[in-house]
A and B are shown apart, each in its own frame.
Chain A
Amino acid sequence: AQSVAQPEDQVNVAEGNPLTVKCTYSVSGNPYLFWYVQYPNRGLQFLLKYITGDNLVKGSYGFEAEFNKSQTSFHLKKPSALVSDSALYFCAVRDTLNYQLIWGAGTKLIIKP
């Protein structure tokens, strides 16, 4: 079965430090991978996607994600965290059969001043 896993419910990072939010996936065929962010009391916002090409994808708000085919991972990263990055982050992969997104359970990112 196709799936996405976000192994951490919560990640705590000090402001100014680098951050990583982990995501692993399982799909048949080539993966289309996505990250979304949800700020409190808001809907989800698209951050970035990997379709093909360079394994390092750059997105909004200074975020980037690294696609690793051998490890079936697509971790979200940022070199220097801001308090305003505190939010809920969702990884998703496109189902290769019906083209709908399969979502992870989300990771709460807390950036402390």
Chain B
Amino acid sequence: ETGVTQTPRHLVMGMTNKKSLKCEQHLGHNAMYWYKQSAKKPLELMFVYSLEERVENNSVPSRFSPECPNSSHLFLHLHTLQPEDSALYLCASSRDRGAGELFFGEGSRLTVL
């Protein structure tokens, strides 16, 4: 069983849909992250949670809404997305916030039509 699991791996949605991405970590880590990965661009940090409390929100549009019900689970709720939101969304965890060694899931490939 991998340390960080993301579902679904692929998602296609229309601009008016509502969907959610799920992330689960089995490593006992205290911090969890959502990143957006677009081709040939640096990873964009979207949200950081530490001990279930959101500590970073890097000016992400409100159509992305995170939820962290406990230290093992992280969700990204999506609604009224735009085609430019199509990307690979990566979840990661680390022992503590600021620990540079991150453990990533395999990502959720999102396509917005």
Interface residue ranges, A against B (CB under 8 Å): 4, 9, 32, 34, 36, 41-46, 49, 90, 92, 94, 98-106
User: Majority SS of interface residues in chain B?
Assistant: loop
Query: With A32-B100, A34-B100, A43-B90 given, is the CB distance from A4 to B106 under 8 Å?
Result: no
**Number of residue pairs spanning A and B whose beta carbons lie under 8 angstroms apart:** 53
CB-based contact A100/B43 at 8 Å: no
Q: A42-B106, A43-B90 are in contact. Are A49 and B42 (CB under 8 A)?
A: no
Interface pair A101/B102, CB less than 8 Å apart: yes
Give chain B residues whose Cβ lies under 8 Å from the Cβ of A49: 100-101
Q: Which residues of the partner chain A approach B107 to less than 8 Å between Cβ atoms?
A: 42-43
Is the C-beta of B104 less than 8 angstroms from some C-beta in chain A?
A: yes
- CB contacts (< 8 Å) of A46 on chain B: these are 101-103
Given A44-B43, A100-B48, 9 more contacts at CB 8 Å? A9-B40, A46-B102, A49-B100, A92-B100, A94-B100, A99-B98, A100-B98, A101-B45, A105-B41
Q: Are A94 and B40 in contact (CB under 8 A)?
A: no
Using a CB-CB cutoff of 8 Å, which residues 56-113 of chain B contact chain A?
Answer: 56, 90, 92, 97-98, 100-107
**A93 and B97 alpha carbons, distance in the complex (Å):** 15
In angstroms, Cα B41 to Cα A42, docked, is: 17
Contacts A43-B90, A94-B98, A100-B98; A105 near B42 (Cβ below 8 A): yes
- What is the minimal beta-carbon distance from A109 to any residue of chain B, in angstroms? 14
B106 touches A43 (CB 8 A): yes
Interface residue ranges of B28-44 to A (CB < 8 Å): 40-43
Within 8 A of A (CB), among B11-57: 40-43, 45, 48, 56
CA distance A99 to B55 in the complex (A): 12
Contacting residues, chain B, for A100 (C-beta < 8 A) = 45, 48, 56, 98
Find chain B residues with CB under 8 A from A90 CB.
Answer: 42-43
On chain B, the residues within 8 Å of A44 by CB distance are 43, 90, 92, 102, 104
